[in-house]
Amino acid sequence: MRLFVAAPLPGFLIEDLQVLRRSLQSAGLKARWVPPGNMHLTLKFLGEVGSQQLPSLGDTIRAAVTSIPPITLVAKGIGGFPSLRHCRVLWVGLDGETQRLIALQQRLSGKLQSLGFPRERRAYHPHLTLARTRLPLDARHWTAPFADWTSQTMTIDQLALFASTLKPTGAEYRCLHRATLTGQIHP
């Protein structure tokens, strides 16, 4: 199974992203847009994993979120991988309690490392993928007007283990396990 760990997004945030998508589309940006139901905030891509690992993965994700309070974020700004100028992946960035999100990602990665999943060599760059392109595209012209675009505020209170099936029509994601961020918010 091809697995990854991600935070599901609230419906209103996905709708905000659809409004942004429609603006970019009407400005003429052509890309393979991520279907609304597939949008999520990835913390860790695991790759191919045997199903016998599922119970320990579930335990590890639960241990990583235990006593962590929910994380408040906004989606903000547009970027591209590897760059907006040579864009293959068009994404929206995150602002707000991003340091807490990165700390949670580090904690999760550390626990998964003990299960044999290596840490990424690249730094974790939290983002929400909006679209992908087959060929690198200079997206600066389309995205410049939306540089300061900001969504409504969302609270991340769950991580989920997803299975990804690659089909000719696109990736299909299935949620296998959920764990809730259980920490108390201290004023």
Active site members: 40, 127
Q: State which of residues 36, 45, 110, 175 lies at the interface with ligand 2AM (CB under 6 A).
A: 45
**Integer Cα distance of 154 and 10 in angstroms:** 7
47's torsion region: left (phi>0), alpha (psi -120 to 50) or beta? left
By the rule CB under 6 A, 102 interacts with ligand 2AM: no
Shortest CB 42 distance to ligand 2AM, Å: 4
Find the shortest distance in angstroms from Cβ 46 to ligand 2AM.
9
CA distances from 149 to 13, 98, 136, 153, 154 (A): 13, 17, 23, 13, 15
| Residue among 81 and 146 whose Cβ is closer to ligand 2AM | 81
> Residue from 25, 98, 133, 164 that binds ligand 2AM (CB under 6 A)?
164
- Among residues 23, 42, 98, 153, the one that binds ligand 2AM under rule CB under 6 A: 42
Dmax (CA) of the chain? 48
DSSP string, 89-146: EEEEEEEESHHHHHHHHHHHHHHHHHTT-PPPSSPP---EEEEEEEEEE--HHHHGGG
155 is a site residue for ligand 2AM (CB under 6 A)? no
Instruction: Show contacts with ligand 2AM in window 103-142 (CB under 6 A).
Output: 129
Beta bridge partner(s), residue 161? 5, 177
- The identity of residue 100, as a single letter, is R
* Beta carbon of residue 153, minimum distance to ligand 2AM (angstroms, whole number): 22
Specify the residue, 6 or 69, whose C-beta has the smaller distance to ligand 2AM: 6
Q: With respect to ligand 2AM, which residue has the nearer C-beta, 83 or 182?
A: 83
Instruction: Note the residues at the interface with ligand 2AM (CB under 6 A).
Output: 4, 42, 45, 89, 129, 164
